[in-house]
Every structure is written in structure tokens, then in C-alpha cells.
Amino acid sequence: MMPETRQVHYGEQIIEYRLERRERSTLEITVEPDGLVRVAAPIEAAVEDIATRVRRRARWILAQQRTFARFHPRTPPRRYVPGETHLYLGRQYRIQVSPNEAVDGPDAPRVRMVRGFLEVTGVAFRDTAAIERHITLWFRQRARLHLPRRVELNRQRFPDPTAVEPAGLRLLRMPTRWGSMSPAGRLLLNPDLIRAPMDSIDYVITHELCHLLIPSHSRNFYELQETVMPDWQRRKERLERIMA
């Protein structure tokens, strides 16, 4: 059956949800990271009964939506000019341009960390487009280096690491999410996650690995996450605070 979009009133607020009827005996309500409310209900369940169940869970639904809204990447756009600061693994680094080196040399341009600076060489001092291009490339290279390693390390948190092995890993810039697990088990990570502290990176990865065992954001999902990462809330709050 095709999903239906329905809504219930809770005080002055309206909660819209996607209703999907399936061959099942119980009703399940989940809130996705983008705020979408999904309701999986038995085929024979009455619409009125479903709405009543959603209304009873309204406070929890709204709390989940607020939580996910705070979790969305919302770091304001950074400028790519000398003196601007950028995060890398949770620490601030200031852009420093050293234009004295030849811009057409075999090793130019390049980016490296030097005593609290992101030093860009081989570009003109005022060429912000080139500075942005090479720093962005540097961040992606660091993400490709570190994020697959963190995936493997965080798999070891689970009693059976083989049960949480993604079908693949792809780095994809997502405007409102740090990570996602596809229905086929492919892990997507936002390369900008490399700017966050390592313990927060591990939280995002562990959160997504949990979805290989429990696809929905149900009570069982959060119990699993609590088991494999008891301090996940602290890590999540640090991510929100630093990357806000």
C-alpha cells in the first residue's frame, strides 16, 4: 500500500506523519533525522486508533524533532582569507598564506598544519578562490584518511563486529546531516565531519552503525546505542556545541 500523509493536533501544534500499512501486528512510531515522522501500522488498524497513538506520543515526537534539529550541521560558512579560523578535529587553525614560493612549482600549491596554522603555499595572497579550493581538498583528503579508520575502530564496540560492517563507505556533503545509513547498508559520512572532535566523530559513526542492526529510531535503537556507547549524549552535546 502507498504511504499516506496524515496529521494530528497537539495543543496549538500540528504533527504531520507518514503512515505506512504493513503485514505486522504492532504499531511503530519513529522520527527520522530530518524530522519526518513515520508510522508503521497493521493493515487492518483503524485510522482513528492510529491518530490516537500518535497524539499520545506527541511530546516524545516533538522532543525528538527538536533534538535532531540541533544535530543538523549548521556551522556558518567560513571565509577563505588569511587570518580566518577553521576547525580540524575540534581545534581551531588560522589560515596563513605564504605566497613567496613559486606558484608553478611541482609541489605547489599545498596545505599543511604548522603550529596552529593552516599554511597555504603556492597561491597568491588575495586569491581566495584558490585558497578555498586547496583547503577544501585538504579537508577531504584528511577525511578520506581518518574516517575509514574510525569506522573500523568503532565496529569493535559491538559484540559482533561482523554484524555492523557497512556495504561501503562514501563521503558526501550533506547540508543537514553528518551521516546516514542507506537501506542497502552503505554508510554515508559528511566530509565536514573531520572538523569535529574525534569523540564526536566516533559518536556519529557509532550511531549510523547501530542502524545496521535497527534501522528505525525506536526505543530498541537507543537501548543499543546506550549499550555500545554509554556516553553518547555527552559526545553528541559536544558536537552540537562546537559545530554550532
Tell whether the model's pLDDT for residue 1 goes beyond 80.
Answer: no
pLDDT over 70 percentage in the chain: 91
Q: Domain check: are 200 and 126 in the same one?
A: no
pLDDT band at 226 (very low <50, low <70, confident <90, very high): very high
Q: Domain check: are 149 and 136 in the same one?
A: no
Task: Judge whether 61 lies within some domain.
Answer: yes
What is the pLDDT averaged over residues 11-40? 88
What is the pLDDT averaged over residues 184-199? 94
- Domain end (from 119, 140, 161): 140
DSSP annotation of 192: G
- Domain end (from 140, 165, 186): 140
Q: Domain check: are 135 and 204 in the same one?
A: no
Q: Return the top range by mean pLDDT from 45-49, 69-73, 100-104.
A: 45-49
Q: Is 229 exposed, middle or buried (0-12, 13-18, 19+ CB in 10 A)?
A: buried
State the virtual CA torsion across 135, 141, 146, 147 in degrees, nearest 10. 100
Q: Domain check: are 135 and 199 in the same one?
A: no
Task: Judge whether 80 lies within some domain.
Answer: no
Q: Residue 115 sits in which domain range?
A: 85-140
Instruction: Give the span between the Cα atoms of 68 and 189, in whole angstroms.
Output: 16
Task: Judge whether 78 lies within some domain.
Answer: no
Task: Judge whether 158 lies within some domain.
Answer: yes
pLDDT band at 35 (very low <50, low <70, confident <90, very high): confident
- Domain end (from 122, 140, 158): 140
Instruction: Give the span between the Cα atoms of 220 and 197, in whole angstroms.
Output: 27
H or E stretch at 42:
strand 37-42
How many domains is the chain partitioned into structurally? 3
How confident is the model at residue 110, as a pLDDT? 87
Q: Give the predicted TM-score (pTM) of the model.
A: 0.71
Task: Judge whether 77 lies within some domain.
Answer: no
Tell whether the model's pLDDT for residue 68 goes beyond 80.
Answer: no
Tell whether the model's pLDDT for residue 103 goes beyond 50.
Answer: no
Task: Judge whether 43 lies within some domain.
Answer: yes
Least confident of 1-5, 14-18, 59-63: 1-5
What is the pLDDT averaged over residues 11-22? 90
Q: Domain check: are 63 and 90 in the same one?
A: no
How confident is the model at residue 175, as a pLDDT? 76
Tell whether the model's pLDDT for residue 150 goes beyond 90.
Answer: yes
